[in-house]
Structure 1
Amino acid sequence: MEISERVKMLRKIKKITQADLAKAIGVSPGNVGDWERGKTKPGSDALIALIQYFNVSADWLLIGEGQPIPLTNKHHKSLLLADLEKDMILKFRQLDLRDQEDVKDIIDMKYKKMLKRNK
């Protein structure tokens, strides 16, 4: 996945338009469109603004490595996530609330079965 795809994915997860994103980070909507089409790449100021706006790691936004979305536990230490977990979280966030609740119910059911097996 290229930076163009990651920017577009983050924008869609947040359910905002290119114009909304452009206004939030201080660029033109044309810039955002060009980034998402892979025509150009964000400059350093825009990259910093994107990282801060979406609260993602620079490594992930730039090269697709590292942790895309910072998650912390109650002790404020970063949680290390497997690629499968990262993928699931990103997809889960794109679902509407009802579908998210359905997924949670399925996970709860699987978890309960696992606990019964391990007793």
Structure 2
Amino acid sequence: MNDFPKHLRTLRIERNMTQNQLASMLNYSREAVVAWERGRKLPSYDAIIGICKCFDVSSDWLLGLSY
């Protein structure tokens, strides 16, 4: 799961999206997104699914299980 924070931040920045915008799209707080990107907290399964749908990526890639 060490790749998750890096992948999330990279996806968000590549799409010119702020932490606030991503949080709003996922119905989470900005603080939650910050914690995920810094690796301080892990997202729920629902959040992972939402992130994958938002960025059109697989959960395997997002979590660093495939490259």
TM-score by length of 2: 0.91
Offset at 1:48? 0.5
Distance 1:16 1:64 in 2: 24
Please, which runs of 5 or more residues in structure 1 have no aligned partner?
A: 67-119
Equivalent in the alignment of 1:85: none
Offset at 1:64? 4.4
- Answer whether contact 1:4 1:41 (CA < 8 A) is retained: no
Distance 1:5 1:63 in 2: 10
Distance 2:10 2:36 in 1: 12
Please, which runs of 5 or more residues in structure 2 have no aligned partner?
A: none
Residue aligned with 1:63, SS: coil
Distance 2:56 2:65 in 1: 15
Name segments (4+ residues, structure 1) moved above 3 Å. Answer: none
Equivalent in the alignment of 2:33: 32
Of all paired residues, the percent bearing the same amino acid is 35
Equivalent in the alignment of 1:14: 15
CA deviation profile, 1:23-71 (whole Å, cap 9, x unmatched)? 01111100000000010111101000000000001110012414xxxxx
Q: Please list, as runs of the form range in 1=range in 2, the aligned pairs for 1:1-119 lying within 5 A after superposition.
A: 2-66=3-67
Number of residue pairs matched by the alignment: 66
TM-score by length of 1: 0.53
Q: How well do the aligned residues superpose, as a CA RMSD in angstroms?
A: 1.2
Greater relative contact order: 1 or 2 (C-alpha under 8 angstroms, separation 6 or more)? 2
